[in-house]
């Protein structure tokens, strides 16, 4: 029961945070969606700060596993980047959601230091993964006009996150596609 309820709470909280931010939902909202008493949530997550740390830790682990899967199934740097771009696009749905890292970063002042540290660590790992993908793309020739892989990686992550925010602001996934079009043209 504990693990299933905990997972259901994390799933519900992540959906809410991605759509409304960490301040856009309450434990009462989670209790109603999961079908438990509000007091029961405190057994799993005594505070919303504890919940935000657990959500971001789970998200980071899941996403970094996804990156390993992308590496295992895509031989070129460009192919890896195109799959990753697709995952970031999937996260916005119809422009009404964000990936969890971006959603939580937008409400940084409401987060405990532990969650901020998990976000920083996740972003650093993503930049390392992107750096390796850009380096591979430069080596295998699948990325046109490659610059320094670390600079490319930092710019790419900022572009992915900013494109999500643009799509959310406009409630239109086409804003994400437009922001990524120049980068995608370089991936061949």
Q: Is residue 4 assigned to a domain?
A: no
Q: Is residue 90 assigned to a domain?
A: yes
What domain range is 137 assigned to?
48-186
Q: Is residue 19 assigned to a domain?
A: no
Q: Is residue 30 assigned to a domain?
A: no
Each residue's pLDDT expressed in tens, for the chain with a length of 188 residues: 445 999 999 999 999 999 999 999 999 999 999 999 999 999 999 999 999 999 999 999 999 999 999 999 999 999 999 999 999 999 998 889 999 999 999 888 999 999 999 999 999 999 999 999 999 999 999 999 999 999 999 999 999 999 999 999 999 999 999 999 999 999 98
Read out DSSP for 50-119? HHHHHHHHHHHHHHHHHHHHHHHH--SHHHHHHHHHHHHHHHHTTTT---HHHHHHTTGGGS-HHHHHHH
pLDDT digits (tens, 9 = 90+) for 132-147: 999 999 999 999 999 9
Q: Is residue 80 assigned to a domain?
A: yes
Q: Is residue 17 assigned to a domain?
A: no
Question: Could you tell me the pTM of the whole model?
Answer: 0.93
Count of the separate structural domains present in the chain: 1
Q: What pLDDT is attached to residue 94?
A: 85
Q: Is residue 40 assigned to a domain?
A: no
Q: Is residue 28 assigned to a domain?
A: no
Please report, for the domain that includes residue 74, its CATH number: 1.10.357.10
pLDDT digits (tens, 9 = 90+) for 8-23: 999 999 999 999 999 9
């Amino acid at each position: 029961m504990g693990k299933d309820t905990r997972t259901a709470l994390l799933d519900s909280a992540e959906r809410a945070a991605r759509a409304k931010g960490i301040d856009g939902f309450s434990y009462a909202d989670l209790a109603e969606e999961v079908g438990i008493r509000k007091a029961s949530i405190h057994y799993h997550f005594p505070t919303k700060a504890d919940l935000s740390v657990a959500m971001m830790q789970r998200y980071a682990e899941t996403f970094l596993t996804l990156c390993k899967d992308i590496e295992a199934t895509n031989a070129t740097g460009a192919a890896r980047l195109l799959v990753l771009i697709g995952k970031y696009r999937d996260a916005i749905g119809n422009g009404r959601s964000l990936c969890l890292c971006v959603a939580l970063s937008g409400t940084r002042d409401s987060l405990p230091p532990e969650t901020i540290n998990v976000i920083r660590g996740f972003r650093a790992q993503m930049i390392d993964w992107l750096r390796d993908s850009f380096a591979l793309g430069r080596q295998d020739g699948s990325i046109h006009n490659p610059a320094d892989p670390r600079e490319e990686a930092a710019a790419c992550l900022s572009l992915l996150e900013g494109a999500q925010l643009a799509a959310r602001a406009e409630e239109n996934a086409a804003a994400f596609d437009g922001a990524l079009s120049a980068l995608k043209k370089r991936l061949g």
